[in-house]
A and B are shown apart, each in its own frame.
Chain A
Amino acid sequence: MHYYSPSNLLERYFPMISFHLDGHSGIAPYLQIVGQVRQALLLGLLCEGDKLPTVKEVVAKVAINPNTVSKAYRELEHLGLAAAKPGVGTFITRSLGDASLAEHGPLQQELRAWLATARAAGLTELGIEAMFQNTRRESAVEEK
């Protein structure tokens, strides 16, 4: 892990990423933050060694409960994506950049093929959305 790369020096003044909150998504705020970190990792905006903004920085910017941010960071640690260095901050411990998106290329191909079949079968975009959501929810419940 490299804590003192030039990017770390830069982020001492400008945090690498900032968070936002969608109040009407029905998704718990801490999971929204976890999701945004994952997203940034997938897009390659965050890499191993990057420091996440401190809890105080986040709440002063986004106006959310500090416990929410701490909980999100704990969840990131639990997922093995970040690690806390006491007194220093929370750092990204794994990159999920291009490599992992490329890994999932075949999955995306399958999804494309499925979408084409669904449209050919006369499903509207809304119908596709509803079927996807329902199926995803059901399968998540079954896998629990």
Chain B
Amino acid sequence: MNAIVQTRALGKSYGQRPALADCTLMVPPGHVAGLVGPNGAGKTTLLKVACGMLAPSTGCIEVLGERPGAGPAQLARVGYVAQDTPTYAGLSVADHLKLGAKLNPRWDAKLAQAYIEQLGLEPKQKAGRLSGGQRAQLALTVAVAKRPELLILDEPAARLDPLARRDFLRHLMESVAENDTSVILSSHLVSDLERVCDYLIVLVASRVQLAGETEDLLAQHYRIVCSRRQDAGLPPELDVIWSEHAGRQSTFIVRSQAGLPSGDWSAEHLDLEDLVLAYMERSADPGRRTTTRTKEDAR
């Protein structure tokens, strides 16, 4: 099976301004991948390049083993729901399904019908009169009934209230379980990603800061609290992602691929949100970054 998305040194600039730079990724098949990063990090650009709506400026990208938008057959394999789950305000729920059926060769009318019924959407209702949550569900229904192998969702739940968001994610996960769909999903809401994503990509300032299986990432990162010391006071095999120093105490967030050596500190794993924030802060303030260490420092 091909990778969901594979990129090499992918870049996209709008005029002089780079929106995505030197992005190298390999998201293995069968995953629900979360794409997280602050506003303007390049998430939407990456997703648009992945679905073929934008052509890359540099580097290359393959989605399900093919160039995005290579032809009708490739387009049929990928479903895309743009930011804020757009629907046609003047068209009814039934019109959306009719449109989906006409435009998509692999359209599953039975599935679409079942979802609409399950959601309790009135077929004659105009989409413009649906609530935000219902609109999101309608957009998801159209994308899922297309029977894609990969669903690309750009901030699908950002504007929904917590209940509608949870409903949306339930519905999404149900269809993933039922149809074996892979998903790439961007969000600010790390708590949502933690539930549904088994692969995580952190994108900050147009660059990939971190990518990997969620579980591995959680297992490899620790928060260390100890008496005040410099980064170099920690064993060299620990990669310091983030640090903070108080009068007598230092707090570090470190990555270690091979477990944590014992030391004069207390250490614990951190949740995904703190982990993501550490990477975001590090790239917002590169002066803090400690990646290379000389032997002198380590003493």
Q: Which one of B176, B197, B259 lies within 8 Å of A59 (CB-CB)?
A: B176
Contact residues in A for B170 (Cβ distance below 8 Å): 59-63
Residue of A nearest to B172 (CB): A63
Interface residues of B in 157-174 (CB under 8 A from A): 166, 169-174
Say yes or no: A26 contacts B270, CB within 8 Å: yes
Interface size on B, residues (CB 8 A): 32
Contact residues in B for A66 (Cβ distance below 8 Å): 173, 176-177
Contact residues in B for A64 (Cβ distance below 8 Å): 173, 195-196
B111 to chain A, nearest CB (A): 14
Main secondary structure of the interface of A (DSSP, over half): helix
A67–B176 CA distance with the chains assembled, in angstroms: 10
A73 within 8 A of B: no
Main secondary structure of the interface of B (DSSP, over half): helix
Determine, out of A17-25, A44-52, A84-92, A99-107, the stretch whose residues face the partner at the interface.
Answer: A17-25
Contact residues in A for B125 (Cβ distance below 8 Å): none
On whether A56 and B178 interact (CB within 8 A), knowing A24-B271, A63-B173, A66-B173, the answer reads yes
A141–B196 CA distance with the chains assembled, in angstroms: 30
Residue of B nearest to A28 (CB): B215
What 1/0 flags go to B252-282 for Cβ under 8 Å of A? 0000000100100011111111000000000
Say yes or no: A26 contacts B268, CB within 8 Å: yes
A59–B171 CA distance with the chains assembled, in angstroms: 9
On whether A134 and B271 interact (CB within 8 A), knowing A23-B195, A28-B219, A56-B177, the answer reads no
Interface residues of A in 1-52 (CB under 8 A from B): 21, 23-30
B140 to chain A, nearest CB (A): 13
A68 within 8 A of B: yes
Interface size on A, residues (CB 8 A): 26
A27–B218 CA distance with the chains assembled, in angstroms: 8
Q: Which one of B191, B198, B259, B266 lies within 8 Å of A65 (CB-CB)?
A: B198
Residue of A nearest to B216 (CB): A28
A27–B215 CA distance with the chains assembled, in angstroms: 9
B4 to chain A, nearest CB (A): 13
A138 within 8 A of B: yes
A138–B215 CA distance with the chains assembled, in angstroms: 22
A55 within 8 A of B: yes
Q: Which one of A23, A55, A65, A68 lies within 8 Å of B271 (CB-CB)?
A: A23
On whether A59 and B174 interact (CB within 8 A), knowing A21-B195, A134-B266, the answer reads yes
What 1/0 flags go to B177-216 for Cβ under 8 Å of A? 1100000000000010011111000000000000000010
- Interface, chain B (partner A; CB < 8 A): 30-32, 166, 169-174, 176-178, 191, 194-198, 215, 218-219, 259, 262, 266-273
| Top 5 A-B pairs, shortest CB-CB distance | A59-B173, A63-B169, A66-B177, A60-B174, A26-B269
